[in-house]
Structure 1
């Protein structure tokens, strides 16, 4: 029974990471050995758990059922380990975190680093992607979301904010002329962040707000790409303040309409009500909330 439970755990890791090779690297095993263990589990159960092709793995119906049950089993085991570790000197375990790629250009990275240094017994696995991840399906314990959440089926907590600035390449601004009012930006080329609205609202010190759409034939999915295209004179865009300041220092970018501001992005931690690693998740979220306000 112990060997079968171990095989189930290895099978579940293969499903989470998508390939035998990735699971093998994570587990410190040879890919061939991981494949052998999963094949032996299939023979013992008398069913096929995974469809194998040269490019990817996919679950059979029986594989999905076993994976779900195995996740429940592992969650119960990890809860027990978390409870024991909390009673000891320091928390231990693994925490899987997903966050937008542009977070790497914000102060949250310092908070992540401080958490990792404060709790060396916790193995941190970070996924930085501007493609939203499904926490349940993709196996993440907590996600960082940017923007302003509406209704959510998850537990949520605000952990801070990120300021944004309106920028363009120096040559583009020189050619267009520094605008005096946001309405002038309707004739500018805009580099859009593909998962954000096409409208941009700016507010001045008197509280006056103006929403600009402008024209756009270029959309990207990372803040780094926004920076690079703006620096190359393709138009105006909004990027995190930390990234913008770097562009100002290098002379790549110019601050457009510095007397007008953009609404800050809120950062929120979201996690399932019944997290697989509830104790570690709550510890992480509370740490971030304390660090960032």
Structure 2
């Protein structure tokens, strides 16, 4: 039975990650060995737990029932490890993290790497993507969100803010009079970001605000694409300042309306209230927050 406890944990990981190959990479075994382990477990329990096809796996009815107990077993064991970690000066364990694709070369990504350098018993798997992902269903421990938090039962902590800047390509700007007011941009070509509202709100130093909805024939769903089309002089857009600074240094971008500002975007860490690696997650979030000069305790996203 003791051997099959390990089999059960591996079965749960296969389901969490959605394939034998992904689970094998995660736990550092050959995919064929992971498949054999699940087959051995099925023989032991006397039921088929997974339907296998060439492209994906799916839980059977028996597998769905068994998986709920497997998750509970793993969660209980990891909870015990968390309690021991809380008593230890050196954190240890594995975290799966979700973050926006454009942050893959940011100071936040650097801080994540620094955490593993500082804590040699911690392994991180970071997925930088703009695709919609379900934190719990897809087996992630932590989500880094940029923008404003929705009402949620999850825990959250603000890590910092991203300053935003209005820019265009240098050649695009040369072909037009320099805008003096946000309304001047309504006739310009905008490169839209699909995850952002079509209306931009500009703030003057006096507290006055102006909303602008310019025309757009080009919409993209990644910040990298915004950068690319801005460099190619397709129009004006809003980008994170640290990316704009790179373009300005290279002589590719021109900033506009520098007397006006755009509200910064908050960076938040969000994680389940009942995290499987609660103490390690909190330790990791605290480290990230310290890197951005933030203080305070973790708070509920509704707070």
TM-score normalized by structure 2?
A: 0.91
Asked if the contact 2:98–2:143 (Cα under 8 Å) also holds between the matched residues in 1, the reply is yes
Question: Residues 24-39 of structure 1 correspond to what in structure 2 (within 5 A)?
Answer: 24-39=24-39
Asked if the contact 2:165–2:238 (Cα under 8 Å) also holds between the matched residues in 1, the reply is yes
Superposed CA deviations along residues 208-235 of structure 1, whole A, max 9, x for unmatched, are 2111111112222221111001111111
Q: CA deviation at 1:16?
A: 2.0
Aligned residue for 2:198, secondary structure, equals coil
Q: Structure 1's 8 and 117: CA in aligned 2 closer, same or farther, altered over 3 A? A: same
TM-score normalized by structure 1?
A: 0.94
Q: Are 2:247 and 1:247 equivalent residues in the alignment?
A: yes
Cα RMSD, aligned residues only: 1.6
C-alpha distance in 2 between matches for 1:220 and 1:72:
41
Q: Are 2:295 and 1:281 equivalent residues in the alignment?
A: no
- The count of aligned residue pairs is 293
Partner of 2:202: 202
C-alpha distance in 2 between matches for 1:202 and 1:152:
28
Partner of 1:184: 184
Asked if the contact 1:105–1:243 (Cα under 8 Å) also holds between the matched residues in 2, the reply is no
Aligned residue for 1:176, secondary structure, equals coil
Asked if the contact 2:194–2:221 (Cα under 8 Å) also holds between the matched residues in 1, the reply is yes
Asked if the contact 1:162–1:241 (Cα under 8 Å) also holds between the matched residues in 2, the reply is yes
Structure 2: 5+ residue stretches without partners: 295-303
Aligned residue for 1:131, secondary structure, equals coil
Partner of 2:119: 119
Structure 1: 5+ residue stretches without partners: none
Question: Residues 252-271 of structure 1 correspond to what in structure 2 (within 5 A)?
Answer: 252-271=252-271
Partner of 1:23: 23
Question: Residues 95-134 of structure 1 correspond to what in structure 2 (within 5 A)?
Answer: 95-134=95-134
Asked if the contact 2:17–2:139 (Cα under 8 Å) also holds between the matched residues in 1, the reply is no
Superposed CA deviations along residues 241-263 of structure 1, whole A, max 9, x for unmatched, are 11111011112211122221111
Partner of 2:46: 46
Asked if the contact 1:10–1:34 (Cα under 8 Å) also holds between the matched residues in 2, the reply is yes
C-alpha distance in 1 between matches for 2:132 and 2:31:
29
Partner of 1:60: 60
C-alpha distance in 2 between matches for 1:176 and 1:60:
62
Q: CA deviation at 1:205?
A: 2.0
Aligned residue for 2:180, secondary structure, equals coil
